[in-house]
Amino acid sequence: MKKKIRIGLFCIIGLVACGGKNEILRTPFPLTSSERSVFQDENSGEGEFDELSSIDNEAMNATSSNSRAESEFLAWHRDTIRGLDSAQAIWCANILHNQTERKILIDFGSGCLGKDGRFRKGKISIEYIPANGRDFVSLYAAVGNKIITTYDKFEVDGINITATRTSTYKGDNTVEVKVEGGIIAYPDGKKITWNSLRTRKQIAGMATRRWSDDRFLLNGNTEGITKDNIKFRTTLRDIIIDLTCPVSLKRFPTSGTRIVSFGERYENSRTFEFGNGDCDRKISLRTTDGKSTEITLD
Domains of the chain, residue spans: 28-296
* pLDDT value of residue 30: 62
* pLDDT value of residue 258: 92
* pLDDT value of residue 123: 94
Q: How far apart are CA 2 and CA 79, in angstroms?
A: 19
* pLDDT value of residue 68: 40
Q: Are strands 174-185 and 112-113 parallel, antiparallel or unpaired?
A: unpaired
Query: What is the per-residue burial (b if ≥16 Cβ within 10 Å, else e) of 48-82?
Result: bbbbbbbbbbbbbbbbbeeebeeeebbebbeeebe
* pLDDT value of residue 5: 39
Q: In 3-state terms, what secondary structure has residue 60?
A: helix
**Nearest alpha carbon to residue 13 among 197, 185, 239:** 239
* pLDDT value of residue 132: 86
Note the pLDDT tens digit of each residue in 185-211. 999 999 999 999 999 999 999 888 787
pLDDT < 50: residue spans in the chain: 1-13, 15-25, 58-85
Q: What is the pTM of this model?
A: 0.82
Note the pLDDT tens digit of each residue in 39-49. 788 878 887 77
**Which residues, other chains included, contact 239 with Cβ-Cβ below 8 Å and sequence gap of 6+?**
13, 217, 218, 219, 253, 255, 256, 257, 258, 274
Backbone φ, ψ for residue 83 (5° rounding): -100, 0
* pLDDT value of residue 289: 81
Q: Are 23 and 39 spatial neighbours (Cβ–Cβ below 8 Å)? A: no
* pLDDT value of residue 131: 93
* pLDDT value of residue 54: 66
